[in-house]
Structures are given as C-alpha cells and as structure tokens.
A and B are shown apart, each in its own frame.
Chain A
C-alpha cells in the first residue's frame, strides 16, 4: 500500500544525495580528522567543508559552528553551558511555556539547583510577545531561550525583535531553530542571536547529528569533557559521515528553500480549506499565517487522537497527535495547553507536517479519507451523542 508520510516535523526521510554522500564517507573516508596524515586530513577537509556550509547559511564564522549529536544535545549545551558560565552573575532564565522538552527539562533541572526560570505565555495563537520578554528581564537574567518555530503548531516567533531586546540588555540569546534551520531565512547578526540549535534529521539528513552556533565571545562552558574537538565545547571524535550528510542536506535545502516554501504553503492551506469545508467541528491550532510552511495542527471535536492516527494508518497515512494517549506521560500536549487549549481539545488534535516528498495527490487522499474516519469515530462517540442530544433539546 502506498504510504503518505505527513509527520515531517518528527523526522524526515533521508534524501538520495545525502544517503550517497554518507555512504561514500562510511566506505571511503574513515580517518580521524584530528590526525596529521593524509587519511586524517581527508576527513578533516570534509568536516570543515560541512562547517563552512553551515556558517554560510547562518551568516556566521566557521569557528562559531559546533557539531553535536543532535538538537537535544545542542539545547542542553546552550542552557547548561551558559548557566554554568554565568552563575556568578545571575541565576535567572527566560524561556517560553511551549519550548521543546530539550530546553524545558534542562530549565527544570536548573530550578532544582537554585535557578529561577520564567516560562512566558504564548497567547492563544502561539506567538510570544517581545514586550513580555522585556518585562520579564531582571538584573539576574543571564539567558533568554526562545524557539524560532514551534514543532507542534508551527508558529514562528519574533526572534529578531527579541534578539534586539536581549542585545540592548546584554543578555545571551539562544534560539532552538531545530524546526526552522534551512527552512526560514536566519542571519545571526541581523537577528541578534548568540546561540542556535539545529538538527540534521529534520531536513532530510541522517539522525544523530546537529549543530550549535556559538557567537564569538559568548560565555559558555562545556557539559562534557574529553579532547579538544569542536573548540573543546563538544569533545569526541567527530561523526564525520553524519556531519557530511548534514552539510549536504543543508546545502540542498538552502538552495530550494523559497520554491519549496511556496509549494508547501499552497498544499497546507488547501488542506485546511478543504477539511474545514468537509468536516464540521474542527479548529485550527496556532496562528493562521505565522507558521512553518508545512505545519497544520487541527483539533477534531468529539474524537481522540490515537484512534485517528491508527485509523489513518490503515490507509497508509502517517500523522501525529497532541492527545494524552499518544504521550509517554499520559498528559495532553504542553504546547496546546500553552495556547490555552483545554485537555478535551488536545485529545482530538492532529498535527500534519508536509515535506518535500509530499504531493498534491497526498493532500487529495487525506481530504478524501479523513472525513470518513472522523465520521466513523464520531458515530460511536458518547461526546458526539451528547452534543446531538443538546442540539435537539435546544431546538425543541
């Protein structure tokens, strides 16, 4: 059965050219980049080429790019690394309620250690107010960490405005750009960014590799110790094949960025338009326009997310949900809660994240199948029955 993969915010298929680049490195370039002889230097050249690609995309210097094992590690280095370096100056961090857990959980760990963290609200549309950031700043604030684009609802934050505020107050500004790197234009100088996390497997690269941009002069300490690789901020023999794959994936994404954005927005908006015509009692979660090109999060009343996912899977359609049943903690999505959506609303939420392999016919198939699936689940939903009873009573 043909598969329709609509969960590109979770991970992405590795592109052909990237897989070939990685395989080539695995087979033909095994050297340790820190060694002096030819085999090591070949690896070193490939590593540094990837570094140059990243620096170019971000408008950074090559020695401001650190390669890591992924977005989660980059976020951890940013939060713990700055906290360690700045503890004598202050103990306050500003972030948002709907960051990825790779930022939230380090913050929670720091709170147990005497740190104070302000988790800013994001409003019903999922966009943080720069004035809220400014108001939260105290003389003990040493880090502001605000994600560029949210992974669940796709909303894009006003990073440049926040960067300006951070710069004026001389506070280190980190942004988790895992969902936006190589998709939205990012120039670290223009946007006042000091630290930035990115991840390979969100842009059709291999898993297990990411980057942390660290502006020269940023006070930050490592969270792991060993040799001197990656400016001693992230020691360990580099994952050269993975990094080369990440570099290739980035090059390709950056070249296609604008055309791909337009294509995805067209498909995403058509999907929303058609579904809202064909399925009653649904709600868009997040800002109507300030979102990643491929992300669409919809709440379906009276039905539950996991059962929607399993039913769609029968048609080969892969999507994600914000329902408690689909989380390991059996709690509804903290992102949807941050938008003020009650648990009942989260349970029926589905996230569709379109990507470069999706076509108009994928959208057509979803438009054809989803109304039937929702209807069927509603047909034996006690919540829907109750709604119909109330409608009848109100009319009669």
Chain B
C-alpha cells in the first residue's frame, strides 16, 4: 500500500475518536456503496473550534485523514478551518498514495459540511 509512517501512526492510534455530546456542527460524507463514510463533530465557542471528534468507516487512509483533520482544526477560527484543503491534510500526513487521495478529499468535505451545519443551525 505504501503508507507513510505518519499515516500508519494515525491509523493505529487515531486521535479524537468518538462521539460528542451536543455537537455544534455535524458533517456526514461518503456512502456505504463506495466504502468510505466519515462523520465529523465540532464544538464551537466564539467562532473557534474548541473540540473535534470523528467516526469513520473506511480504509487506513480514511481513518488517518479523519484523525489528522480533527487535529488540524482544534483551536482554529472557523474561517481558517474552511481554508483547510485535502492537499494540506495529505501533506500533514507525509503524503498519500495517489489512489488514496480521494480519502483526503472526503476529510475536507466532512469538515466543510460540519462548519456549514453549525452556521445553518446558528441562523435558524
């Protein structure tokens, strides 16, 4: 498979795994047909993501990118978090095999989806 050491580390010991009580935003992406599903939960205070958790069904890269993206967003302002791209997640992991890059795209989409969910809830 050619996973980097960092990917394997995040896969074997994923950070921020679990559910969140009363999340402020939830992002759900993927589907069982394609084989990757990510759920990202964020807690927001004063427009800053103070906590993030995830649940993922998927391969090594899917779990590692979920784990990495939760680490990357903690402490970030929402607008800064929106600037996190899949390439940045992959780079933070020391790179991903080309065939696995789509997993980092899923992580980026899960994050954006969680922030959008938070903002919609706030409006409504």
Contacts and interface: CB of A to CB of B under 8 A. Distances in A.
Interface of A: 302-307, 310-311, 314, 323-326, 328, 330, 332, 342-344, 347, 379-385
A93 B99 CA distance: 34
Contacts of B61: 325
A344 B35 CA distance: 7
Q: Is the interface of B mostly helix, strand, loop or mixed?
A: mixed
Contacts of B12: 311, 314
Contacts of B56: 380-382
17 contacts: A306-B60, A307-B11, A307-B63, A310-B60, A311-B12, A323-B35, A325-B36, A343-B32, A343-B33, A347-B32, A380-B18, A380-B56, A381-B56, A382-B38, A383-B37, A384-B57, A385-B19
B39 A310 contact: no
B43 interface: no
Contacts of B112: none
Contact of A307 (B33, B34, B54, B60): B60
B37 A382 contact: yes
Q: Interface residues of B toward A: which range?
A: 20 to 34
B99 A330 contact: yes
Given A307-B63, A380-B17, A382-B39, A325 B57 contact: no
Interface string B102-116: 000000000000000
A7 to B, nearest CB: 15
Nearest to A384: B57
A380 B34 contact: no
Residue in B14, B28, B34, B59 whose Cβ sees the most chain A Cβ within 10 Å: B59
A380 B35 contact: no
Interface in B1-44: 1, 8, 11-12, 14, 17-19, 28, 32-39
B85 interface: no
B50 to A, nearest CB: 21
B58 interface: yes
Given A325-B58, A325-B62, A382-B57, 4 more contacts: A310-B1, A343-B35, A347-B32, A380-B17
B99 to A, nearest CB: 7
Contacts of B1: 306, 310
